[in-house]
Structure 1
């Protein structure tokens, strides 16, 4: 919303939609890569039972944490940059 509490323009709503999509896709990618790095060896190699279980569970715990951290960081950065009166924002068309 603008500084006077008015409605958002279509461009502002579109920018928010694109930013949400970017946050979700990039968070999913980061979580998948991290899960693959942590749990991948347990899935690819014949590791001892306890080690395999630990790696899989660790991957299942860390991946959602990374997903949420990425979504929150992208969206808070977008909200901070979209504040009215910020002079360092990139204006449309530049």
Structure 2
């Protein structure tokens, strides 16, 4: 086995080296957040996510033009349902 004093000295060196790495990382994080705050980071992530969603939606719409047309037609009929029913049924719908 190795000398206990030598082991303690080696352990302290490892501890000090680890602490130096941790302190350097922490200083880097603090400098990074000082340069660009939390709000700006959140806004950048949100805008990147929205951009990705928009691109995906555009690709899906381009691949499924028929389905998109059917959805738009269904929405148009849904919003125009009362005038259409009034024109077709007239007074019968009122009871």
- TM-score norm. by structure 2 comes to 0.38
Higher helix share: 2
- TM-score norm. by structure 1 comes to 0.38
Structure with greater Cα Rg = 2
